[in-house]
Structure 1
């Protein structure tokens, strides 16, 4: 792909910029104002273009990076490349999309999970916890669930926001998917009170782990 193509895509994203959307996004730590539905429409038209995805990521523009996660070929990235990209992804949405749309589909996901899980940078560590939560739900064999609960019990209360959110999600998924650990997961959530007062819209499930676990288990048994 030529630089012109990157320039054309950046110009198109700039034209989609909406000040109102940017104001909303900035309240959540994201520095872009492109409607995500319109961004996905651009990705659908561009289809898969790995070289262009790499070049868009290199621009450091958040909307361009989000687009890159949608048009890339996840299995084409090397482990070191994904590690570098994760450490560059400082806005929440770019971080989340990179983990969910790219890293989870990569053959390097498990090695990266282990690398990031204990990283001293809490944003990087949150990616390790997100990948761990994926395994808790879908591929728990080999995970030390009791050990994970020990770590959550000891560290979640005082963890920085992004890491706390990721640990809380792991706690909830242990409780939802593993009945043998459910009572302890609920007890930890009740004692730590993390996200208990999180504003939750009507008809949405609270991220407070005991409420989240109880509601999801109720739905399983309907």
Structure 2
């Protein structure tokens, strides 16, 4: 299959309702409004195909860019490739759920994520923190430096309330993920989450929402799910 054929198949799967939902979250034209689950049969037919993923990502069509993440070969991508993908990731569903997810399947994930976190750019920072969420929720605890993650918790405690909105959301999710999935710092994450308290996320044309990592971690404690790891990062 080439990019043109895939675009035709995606267009046929588009739904106006889904399109409106994506647009309310920040997507803009061009897009078809394809539910992610509906993409699976096409992905199964294609398998991993980096060249096709690059062609689709370059279209600027949200659905095609999302699909590109599903069929991409993360191990074939360099740090420069991920930077290039981030340049086109214009809202959080691309930065955090396509680019960060794809990056999380590479050996260079922490190195690239660290650079993005230090960038000062809202969506790059958001993708960097999100990448750590995907990593911590999937990889063994011994693959991480405990002191490094502890330092990151301190950064969250000291800067979350003054960070850009999407970055705040990803930092809050990082705090929750450490408390939920990284056993060595479970207690420190709880203390940090208590110190941080509720985090207000302001959104364009929508009511502000409040996130509370402490309450989210406690729910997982009550469910006996602490230490949980996902089998896969990408679906």
- Normalised TM-score (structure 2): 0.78
Of structures 1 and 2, the one scoring higher in RCO (CA 8 A, sep 6+) is 2
Alpha-carbon shift at residue 153 of structure 1 (Å): 2.1
Contact 1:86 1:98 in 2 (8 A): no
Residue segments in structure 1 that go unaligned for 5+ positions in a row? 197-205
Contact 2:157 2:192 in 1 (8 A): no
Residue matched to 1:186: 193
> For 1:30-45, what aligned pairs fall within 5 Å after superposition?
30-31=27-28, 32=31, 33-45=33-45
Q: Which has the higher strand share?
A: 2
Structure 2 counterpart SS, 1:210 = helix
Contact 1:70 1:101 in 2 (8 A): no
Alpha-carbon shift at residue 207 of structure 1 (Å): 4.8
Q: Would the alpha carbon gap of residues 14 and 183 (structure 1) be closer, same or farther in structure 2, given more than 3 Å must change?
A: closer
Alpha-carbon shift at residue 66 of structure 1 (Å): 0.9
2: CA distance, partners of 1:79 / 1:64: 22
Contact 2:95 2:126 in 1 (8 A): no
Q: Would the alpha carbon gap of residues 134 and 188 (structure 1) be closer, same or farther in structure 2, given more than 3 Å must change?
A: farther
2: CA distance, partners of 1:20 / 1:133: 29
Q: Please list the CA deviations of residues 11-44 of structure 1 after superposition, one character each: whole Å capped at 9, or x if unmatched.
A: 2222222111111111111233112111222211
- Normalised TM-score (structure 1): 0.82
Residue 13, structure 1, aligned to residue 10, structure 2: yes
Residue segments in structure 2 that go unaligned for 5+ positions in a row? 202-209, 227-235
Pair member with larger Rg: 1
Q: Please list the CA deviations of residues 126-149 of structure 1 after superposition, one character each: whole Å capped at 9, or x if unmatched.
A: 111123334555433254344323
Q: Which has the higher helix share?
A: 1
Contact 1:172 1:185 in 2 (8 A): no
1: CA distance, partners of 2:110 / 2:225: 32
Q: Would the alpha carbon gap of residues 194 and 78 (structure 1) be closer, same or farther in structure 2, given more than 3 Å must change?
A: same
> For 1:94-133, what aligned pairs fall within 5 Å after superposition?
94-133=94-133
Please report the RMSD computed on the Cα atoms of aligned residues, expressed in angstroms: 2.5
Residue matched to 1:203: none
1: CA distance, partners of 2:77 / 2:149: 30
2: CA distance, partners of 1:131 / 1:157: 20
Q: Would the alpha carbon gap of residues 63 and 187 (structure 1) be closer, same or farther in structure 2, given more than 3 Å must change?
A: same
Q: Would the alpha carbon gap of residues 157 and 107 (structure 1) be closer, same or farther in structure 2, given more than 3 Å must change?
A: same
Aligned residues: 209
2: CA distance, partners of 1:180 / 1:165: 21
1: CA distance, partners of 2:134 / 2:35: 27
Residue matched to 2:48: 48
